[in-house]
Amino acid sequence: MKKIVKCDAELLKLLTQSDSNEIDFLVDVLTDNGAGRVALSSAIKDLLLHQKEEGHYTEDALRHLLHELQEFGGHSVVNLFRSEPLPYSELLTDVHKKLNGKDSAKKSVWQKEREVVLCLLGETWRTMPDHDRWERCTEVKVVGGFFNMQDHLNVDPSGMAAGLSAAASAAAFIGLRAFPPAAIASSLFAGYQSMSEAYRVTIPFVVQIARMKMIAGQAK
């Protein structure tokens, strides 16, 4: 009997109900745009890239996709000895903290998802091209933990977050690539590089999942 690959059941349901092009972005994140990653088996990479090309994903492929993405979450929170992949709720909280969000442990999943999407993508969160979303989520300052979510959100008196305008959001990211790597290296512990690589997967993963959930919510 074939062993069922473990993954987040709610995320699996979300992906089965989503357009394949939204899933394509997650495949690109996991496979590093098809180049592959050391921690990713070539068999899984080939499976996902083949189904991306075909424009249709089987449940087995989606399970592998989510399982591997959730596994990367274990690396980003220095939890390498889990028997199961990191739950999405924990991964979301970790990314929210990484972006220096407030009250990460107290806020609801919905609040944290909205904040991570809007702080990075602004009011164009739904229509921003894949490449631009990828760039925003993997900026040096973002994966290094030096991005302050509060500076990139409009928050009303009730605490509801709103995204910056397209122009303001774009301007907020000008110069982030110039943030000196030496400053990061000197301010973080020796394992920064490997954790940074993990966050180059987990941040765009969480942002895309949160964005897909927001789109699905609007469609209801």
**Paired tokens of 167:** 């122009």
pLDDT of the residue at 184:
47
pLDDT of the residue at 69:
93
Q: Report the distance separating Cα 48 and Cα 46, nearest Å.
A: 6
pTM score: 0.87
Domain boundaries, the chain: 9-219
CB-CB contact of 72 with 198 (8 Å): yes
pLDDT of the residue at 50:
97
Residue reference for tokens 């394509």 = 24
Closest listed residue to residue 134, CA positions, set 143, 145, 123, 146: 143
Q: Report the distance separating Cα 189 and Cα 186, nearest Å.
A: 8
Identify the H or E element spanning 63. helix 59-76
pLDDT of the residue at 194:
57
pLDDT means per 10 residues in the chain (220 residues)?
A: 85 96 97 89 96 97 95 61 76 95 94 96 95 94 91 81 85 64 48 70 97 85
Identify the H or E element spanning 90. helix 88-98
Q: At what angle do helices 192-219 and 20-31 cross, to 10 degrees?
A: 180
pLDDT of the residue at 80:
47
